Amino acid sequence: MQRTSTESGESETPAPSGDFLLPTYADRPLTLVRGEGTAVWDQEGRRYLDFTGGIAVNLLGHAHPALRSALQDQAGKLIHCSNLFYNEPANAFARALVERIGPGGIFFCNSGAEANEALFKFARKFGSATGRYEIITANNSFHGRTLAGISATGQAKVKEGFGPLLPGFTHVPFNDMEAIRDALTPKTVAVHIEGIQGEGGIIPADPGYLLELRQWTRENEVLLLWDGVQCGQFRTGHFQSYTTLLENVPGSDGFLPDGLAMAKSLGAGFPLGAAWIHEDYAHVLGPGSHGCTYGGNPLACAVGLAVLREVESGGWCEHARHVGKRLLDGLGPLKENGRCEDVRGAGVMIGITVREDLPAVRHRLMEAGLLVVPSANQTIRLLPPINVQDREVEEALQILKEHLSR
Ligand SMILES: *Cc1c(COP(=O)(O)O)cnc(C)c1O
């Protein structure tokens, strides 16, 4: 970065640009400088409604007081102490997660890819006694950018140029039980799916598929692993999306996967990931089998606890369901009159399949003051914070109505 001197001898630094970042991400139209709730401001002081939520991360919006005080308080006590020792926030947060999911244990990490990695290693370790290692995943899925993550992911574009990939992943069409049955081999150890495919364009699992899959995996001694990184952590109006997807579905009581990956909204902006493993298998990853230096650091876990408390004490789950309903109702007419292809999702995780060029739509919405996330299959995602205000939802709807396929 070039520094210039003024006559008074003070140095002036030019506004930071992205010139020194590797070009792994294309096309960044804005530099954001600050946020408050659902609003963000760019370098020119322009306000936008942030319906990207940092890609399903900023569950409580920007600059939330509960997060700020959790960070400040814990930073003054203990930021990091390694896994050579226990720490109180991690112990408490692990317990809180188990209470919300089901009996089992937690492995802490920093991201979604790492949470999935923990599940893949769990599955391999579990299968090692019987020589099984194959994991079935879905076409159109997304499971992270590590080598295991892209090997598991059912989208060709993330794999190009990175071969040879990790062996042992089989991909089948999503929501297709017959395809799962056909993919079973003596080496199959697990099925790994998202409850609602996020990067794939907000594609929910069918309730019937989930129930059949749960029964079939049990019968075949195959693990059912759930990637809740994007669809979980309250985004659909319940802590995990299987509760939302299976609501009022007969025979779904007590539905639980055997392993669950969490990240994104879990830390609501602070890097935090976790894998939950059912108590039946909680012994599989024993001492020395897996680790993560930052995993379970007190600062991250204090934030995670603050997020749980704020969402639950604030009644925000109910609000998320109300917002989801309002967005689906409000966008329904656009589908009916052909101005978009489809609208679907739940809570603060909504997908709109558009008819035009995706980058053009996204740009037009941005110009109108609304930030959204593109995904596969011609879909834009609305991933606002769970505490988005009603008037902000109306403002977003107004912009969408005005600017989708005019
Ligand atoms: C974002 C995402 C991941 C990867 O999470 P990172 O934190 O980027 O590693 C994995 N699975 C799903 C479903 C995701 O949406």
Omega within 30 of 0 (cis) for the link into 16: no
Q: In the prediction, which pLDDT does 346 show?
A: 98
CA of 6 to the centre of ligand 1 (A): 46
Give the helix ranges, DSSP H, for 246-376.
298-313, 316-336, 358-367
Q: In the prediction, which pLDDT does 16 show?
A: 75
CA of 264 to the centre of ligand 1 (A): 7
Determine the average pLDDT of the residues in 183-211: 98
380-404 per-position pLDDT tens digit? 999 999 999 999 999 999 999 999 9
Atom of ligand 1 nearest to the CA of 198: 15
pLDDT reading at 195 higher than 50: yes
CA of 142 to the centre of ligand 1 (A): 7
406 band by pLDDT with thresholds 50, 70 and 90? low
CA of 97 to the centre of ligand 1 (A): 19
Return the amino acid letter for 41.
W
Q: Closest Cα to atom 6, ligand 1: which residue?
A: 112
Atom of ligand 1 nearest to the CA of 146: 9
Atom of ligand 1 nearest to the CA of 271: 7
308-318 per-position pLDDT tens digit? 999 999 999 99
CA of 13 to the centre of ligand 1 (A): 35
User: Which value, to the nearest 10 degrees, does the dihedral of the CA atoms of residues 90, 95, 96, 98 take?
Assistant: 120
Helix (H, G, I), strand (E, B) or coil at 109: strand
204 band by pLDDT with thresholds 50, 70 and 90? very high
CB 395 within 8 A of CB 368: no
pLDDT reading at 26 higher than 90: no
SS3 string of 172-229?
ECCCCHHHHHHHCCCCEEEEEEECEECCCCCEECCHHHHHHHHHHHHHCCCEEEEECC
92-131 per-position pLDDT tens digit? 999 999 999 999 999 999 999 999 999 999 999 999 999 9
Atom of ligand 1 nearest to the CA of 114: 9
Residue count of the chain, please give it: 406
Atom of ligand 1 nearest to the CA of 227: 13
Q: In the prediction, which pLDDT does 11 show?
A: 54
Say what the pTM is: 0.95
Strands 379-382 and 349-353: antiparallel
Q: How far apart are CA 220 and CA 294, in angstroms?
A: 36
User: What burial letters (b/e) apply to 113-145, b meaning 16+ CB within 10 Å?
Assistant: bbbbbbbbbbbbbbbeeeebbbbbbbbbbbbbe
Q: In the prediction, which pLDDT does 386 show?
A: 98
CA of 383 to the centre of ligand 1 (A): 14
142-174 per-position pLDDT tens digit? 999 999 999 999 999 999 999 999 999 999 999
Choose the residue to mutate in 52, 194, 229 for probing ligand 1, maximizing ligand atoms within 8 Å of C-beta: 229
Atom of ligand 1 nearest to the CA of 263: 7
CA of 207 to the centre of ligand 1 (A): 23
CA of 150 to the centre of ligand 1 (A): 11
CB-based pocket (< 6 A), ligand 1: 111-113, 116, 142-144, 194, 198-199, 227, 229-230, 263-264
Contacts (Cβ under 8 Å, ≥6 apart) of 359 = 27, 374
Choose the residue to mutate in 110, 117, 119, 142 for probing ligand 1, maximizing ligand atoms within 8 Å of C-beta: 142
Region of 201 (left: φ > 0; alpha: ψ -120 to 50; beta: rest) is left
Q: Average pLDDT over the chain, rounded to whole?
A: 95
